Amino acid sequence: MAFCLRNNFPLIIKRILSQKSGKSIDFHRIQQLRLISTSWCLNKVVSFNLSDIGEGIREVSVKEWFVKTGDIVEQFDNLCEVQSDKASVTITSRYDGKIVKIYHKIDDIALVGQPLVDIDVQDDDEPQGRDDPEKYSDSSSSDDDEGKRSPCPAADVIRQKVLTTPAVRRLAMENKLDLTKVTPTGKYGRVLKGDVLEHLNLIPAGTVKPHPTLLQHKVEPPAVVLAPKVEDRVEQLKGVRKAMLKSMTEALKIPHFAYSDEIMMNNLMAVREQLKADALERGVKLTYMPFCIKAASKALLKFPILNSSLDEANESVIYRGSHNISVAMDTPQGLVVPNVKHCEQKTILDIARSLNELQERGQKGSLRPEDFADGTFSLSNIGIIGGTYTHPCIMSPQVAIGAMGRTKVVPRFGANDEIIKAFVMSVSWSADHRVIDGVTMASFSNLWKKYLENPNLFLLE
């Protein structure tokens, strides 16, 4: 429509003025009116933004300008050189036109996606001069021809439906290329020089990126919003969970280090199987945990540093005389850690009886505050739930904790290099590295392991 109005503008003005005034019209004046510019209506000043130059770079420094305000540029002309923290990049123009504004000075920071320059884009539909047939091939040589021309000839519409510049038309003509077959990427469907070069395979495909005005017309499918089946809810921490929040927050202040090992359980399994029925007759359910607790107590006698606590204020270590070994239990109220008191003075059967009582009270929710107080060392049996190795968190003010994993059946070599069926349990230790070193932890673990792999040692003491 703009093309039809512009090419027939003098004729329209002539007829309107004639009808209004009834006087003869100065044809030379009409000829001058015909050259009225409509660039501001077509919004031909475009902002050339700094495109993404890859590798996550979001800003660059402008090192050199190759153009200045008022310069005429063509596509692929160098505009400036920018420096990122990785490389220098030369920025080239996407448009033919005149530089009307430069946004950055030398050494300024330019952001990706923000304008570098404003370019007044040349329009082949806009007359650049009456005496240059190449720059304005659509202009006629006399007003008589305009008077005879129809307001909007069909042939002109077909010929002018491809928006591009004279330079691009000349390039297409030299290569005998039909511009209607070229995919445009310029503003409002304009065919750029890069589009022609890409169509002729002179530059790699995808070099020229589509103008945002082309992308905005694409209709995106409506996003499918799924309503949640279960609504979010907020639950205030209380009881066991509130206590766990406080204890684990304190645990994170301790510099943990870990140590793991494997224990052959064949002998212990055989001993427990022999004693299980007799213990049940005495009203005690005998599991593997009493053996693990007693073995830990035996090892703590030799390595008392693991049964201590750290007094940070006085920079001292407090050695605990009693072996009050804490045991993690799963209850309806959550995970609780009561302790078996004075394990160094109790037999395996006594420890088993104390464990049974704690478990019974835990299931009923009737554990007492004294059941949790004064713990000096901790053991946790994650194997009853599953899993092999873990990284247990130390319960302050204690300095060590152990966690036993699931017992697995694996092949092992026997004393005569024969393959035997072995029951192997893994154990993971965590210790406070401010107090305990790796050698001490490993030595403690070896002694604990020795008692479990040779349970008859319990009879010697």
Q: Is residue 129's pLDDT more than 60? A: no
Query: According to the model, what pLDDT value does residue 89 have?
Result: 81
| 146 or 397, greater pLDDT | 397
User: Which of the 8 DSSP states describes residue 402?
Assistant: E
Q: Is residue 407's pLDDT more than 90? A: yes
Q: Which of 128, 120, 195 is nearest to 166 (CA)?
A: 128
Q: Is residue 34's pLDDT more than 50? A: no
Mean pLDDT value across residues 337-341: 94
| Total H helices, total E strands in the chain | 15, 18
Query: According to the model, what pLDDT value does residue 436 have?
Result: 95
Phi, psi of 317, rounded to the nearest 5 degrees: -110, 130
Write the DSSP assignment of 405-450 as a string of letters. EEEEEEEEE-TTS-EEEEEEEEEEEEEETTT--HHHHHHHHHHHHH
Tokens of 148: 């005879």
Q: Cβ(90)–Cβ(62) under 8 Å?
A: no
Q: What is the pLDDT of residues 414-457, one digit of tens each?
A: 888 899 999 999 999 999 999 999 999 999 999 999 999 999 99
C-alpha span between 388 and 382 (Å, rounded)? 8
Reduced to 3 states (helix: H, G, I; strand: E, B; else coil), residue 368 is coil
Query: According to the model, what pLDDT value does residue 84 have?
Result: 76
Query: According to the model, what pLDDT value does residue 10 have?
Result: 55
Per DSSP (E only), the strands in 133-277 are 256-264
Q: What is the pLDDT of residues 154-203, one digit of tens each?
A: 444 444 568 888 888 888 888 888 888 888 888 777 888 888 888 888 88
Query: According to the model, what pLDDT value does residue 172 have?
Result: 87
Phi, psi of 452, rounded to the nearest 5 degrees: -75, -35
Q: Say what percent of the chain tops pLDDT 70.
A: 78
Cα four-point dihedral sign 205, 206, 211, 212:
positive
Q: Which helix (H) or strand (E) holds 6?
A: helix 2-7
User: In 362-400, which positions are buried (b, 16+ CB within 10 angstroms) versus exposed (e)?
Assistant: beeeebeeebeeebbbbbbbbbeeeebebebbbbbbbbb
Q: What is the pLDDT of residues 99-122, one digit of tens each?
A: 999 999 998 988 888 899 999 886
Q: Cβ(268)–Cβ(423) under 8 Å?
A: no
When mean pLDDT is compared across 65-74, 120-129, 310-319, the lowest value belongs to: 120-129
Q: Which of 420, 458, 169, 113 is nearest to 297 (CA)?
A: 458
With 0.85 as the threshold, say if the pTM is over it.
no
Mean pLDDT value across residues 392-420: 92
Q: Cβ(110)–Cβ(50) under 8 Å?
A: yes
Query: According to the model, what pLDDT value does residue 28 have?
Result: 52
Would you place residue 140 in the very low, low, confident or very high pLDDT band (cuts 50, 70, 90)?
Answer: very low
Would you place residue 360 in the very low, low, confident or very high pLDDT band (cuts 50, 70, 90)?
Answer: very high
Would you place residue 358 in the very low, low, confident or very high pLDDT band (cuts 50, 70, 90)?
Answer: very high
Residue type, 57: I
C-alpha span between 349 and 377 (Å, rounded)? 20
Q: Is residue 348's pLDDT more than 50? A: yes
Average confidence score pLDDT of the chain = 81
Q: What is the pLDDT of residues 228-263, one digit of tens each?
A: 888 888 988 876 777 778 888 888 889 999 999 999
Per DSSP (E only), the strands in 170-324 are 256-264, 308-311, 316-319
Q: Cα–Cα–Cα angle for 69, 72, 76, nearest 5°?
A: 110
Phi, psi of 90, rounded to the nearest 5 degrees: -95, 125
Q: Is residue 136's pLDDT more than 70? A: no
**Strand 400-413 with 419-432, pairing:** antiparallel
Q: Which residues are catalytic?
A: 433, 437
C-alpha span between 259 and 254 (Å, rounded)? 16
Q: Is residue 91's pLDDT more than 60? A: yes
Q: Which helix (H) or strand (E) holds 4?
A: helix 2-7
Query: According to the model, what pLDDT value does residue 216 have?
Result: 57
Q: Is residue 94's pLDDT more than 50? A: yes
Q: How many CB atoms lie within 10 A of CB 411?
A: 8
Q: How many CB atoms lie within 10 A of CB 1?
A: 6
